[in-house]
Structure 1
């Protein structure tokens, strides 16, 4: 049954609810997507403004959000946001962040104890911070009954086994210590690689490049299809110009290959593309156009 507390959509037998923690101008457009030319933004202003780009200030608009899926009688969260009160000295916007992530879930009818599965599409601070909550000066899992699905390649890369390896910053060490390690200690983590089936409707698939373990979540139920792509896409500009990475991608060549592969399948199979950070409607259909891709219809649901 569809939640009455927040807008959502139903895909086959799966309800999808969007919980937006924050939405607004985030960074200069070509700071977020450095390889994109000014012309791709300007020529597509009618599709990008105002939900994804502010032309007057040339700022890209993004959202911090979590997707709640009700599938097969279980509640699944896709990414958990920044988390409150974290030490993030290298990320001033998120340093000591105070949001209302758990309040947003509550308004969607989700209590912490109701969550069965947490999907971290990758181990970046704005995707795993809500995994834990502060308790007596330490950190404990925010969802006591949940299984946390973490890509094994990211767990290795950002964890102590690869201490200060390529692409690992001091903030990454802090993120791992306060948002991943406590879940390991609680015995609630499942590390996976390649593919991982959650239930009859939901399957995780590796899509490396943004991070070594970056993943997408495929939804297939009845005739409906969707793919939750995490940070393969930060802006719709990357659908129009898939060779353009965000400034956060660790392996540029691999990220382009994963992005292109995911967009090709989405266009071929009619999958709704659901990125982690799109503003506006948050999700969009993709179609083939010439030798590339074009934006189709936006998802027919709103925000909190």
Structure 2
């Protein structure tokens, strides 16, 4: 499914709008979360299906989505999806992808020139694609007035300084050259590490493991709390089993440590957990249950 109608909610003084670029069955469940085991999915089928798992095909259901935050008079995008017209030979499903992401933004009342801040939680192709658009054969920033916040560790690892991710995947070089390098050339990239405060409600924090610079965005406004966790979680089964990494995590031990730390704080502070790729409602509260975690209330969205 592509470009569902924008949905939104309000957390304190921050409006949160969900823009779905694509959603549907993606890859075999245990290919995506290799250590999860068939039993974990089967025992939770009653709520995993159909939003997070398709039992008949045994495929994980995911969404590619951007979260638009209106905070303090500014418009902030959290991740920018796949993008159109990209060379992605390592990702056949999104190779030369064409979608209506900018149209979906427009239907939510967001024009490219309105965007003040772009957050790339990490530098993977499905999180930076709409950083740029093709204009007369050249990649240029999609959002001409925005600062693009890019984790410094990922910029180094996936950039030419580290020979495009140690040269392990041709896609890493392509992603950097069409979606990150043009933002640098335009003088719009801001590299950060550790903690970076965007405004009184929004703060970026490093949470490495999935990638060297993987990060989360915390929202605190009034009595409401949320944490946009990027790819710390690909499926809700990882909340039940935080020791289970996705197949995309680069440093397994560090990814598990970051996931547990973020989930512990989310449970203790009643933060709404907002991953990049959950289907269904897309966001959920987390509770402690003994030494593990369980799922609480799912987010309640309304039409924008």
Q: CA deviation at 1:46?
A: 1.5
Tell me if the contact between 2:227 and 2:273 (Cα under 8 Å) persists in the aligned partners. Answer: yes
Q: How high is the TM-score relative to the length of structure 2?
A: 0.97
Tell me the alpha carbon deviations over residues 230-288 of structure 1, each in whole angstroms, 9 at most, x when there is no partner. 00000000000000000100000000000000000000000000000000000000000
CA contact (8 A) 2:120 2:127 kept: yes
SS at match of 2:180: helix
* Alignment RMSD: 1.2
Matches within 5 A, 1:172-211: 172-211=172-211
Partner of 2:214: 214
Offset at residue 136 of structure 1 (A): 1.1
Match of 1:234 in 2: 234
Deviation, 1:7, is 2.6
* Structure 1 residue 6, shift from structure 2 partner: 3.6
Q: Tell me the SS of whatever aligns to 1:19.
A: strand
1:168 to partner: Cα distance: 4.1
Query: For residues 257 and 167 of structure 1, do their structure 2 counterparts lie closer, same or farther at Cα, with a shift above 3 Å needed?
Result: farther
The CA deviation at 1:55 is: 1.0
Structure 1 residue 301: Cα displacement: 0.9
Q: Is the 8 A contact 1:21 1:63 kept in 2?
A: yes
1:147 is matched with 147
Q: Give the superposition deviation at 1:21.
A: 1.1
Q: For residues 265 and 39 of structure 1, what CA distance do their matches in structure 2 show?
A: 28
Checking the alignment, whether the CA contact within 8 Å between 1:18 and 1:303 is kept in structure 2 is: no
Alpha-carbon shift at residue 302 of structure 1 (Å) = 5.3
Specify the alignment match of 2:169 in structure 1. 169
> Would you say the 8 A contact 1:29–1:58 is kept in 2?
yes
Matches within 5 A, 1:1-304: 6-166=6-166, 168-301=168-301
Normalised by the size of structure 1, how large is the TM-score?
A: 0.97
Secondary structure, counterpart of 1:163 in structure 2 = helix
What is the distance in 2 between the residues matched to 1:152 and 1:99?
29
Secondary structure at 1:211 match in 2: coil
Structure 2 residue matching 1:16: 3-state secondary structure: strand
Counterparts of 2:20 and 2:59, CA distance in 1: 19
User: In 2, Cα distance between the equivalents of 1:18 and 1:113?
Assistant: 19
Deviation at 1:57, TM superposition (A): 1.1
State the 1:100 CA deviation: 1.1
The 10-residue stretch of structure 1 (124-133 or 162-171) with the greater mean CA deviation from structure 2: 162-171
| Contact residue 281 and residue 303 of structure 1 kept, 8 A | no
Uncovered stretches (5+) of structure 1, i.e. residues with no partner? none
- Cα deviations by residue, 1:149-194 (Å, 9 ceiling, x for unpaired): 0000000000000005447411000000000000000000000000
Q: Distance in 2 between matches of 1:202 and 1:22?
A: 26
Q: For 1:155 and 1:176, how far apart are their aligned partners in 2?
A: 8
**CA distance in structure 2 between the partners assigned to 1:302 and 1:33 by the alignment:** 31
For residues 140 and 271 of structure 1, what CA distance do their matches in structure 2 show? 36
Unpaired stretches in structure 2, ≥5 consecutive residues: none
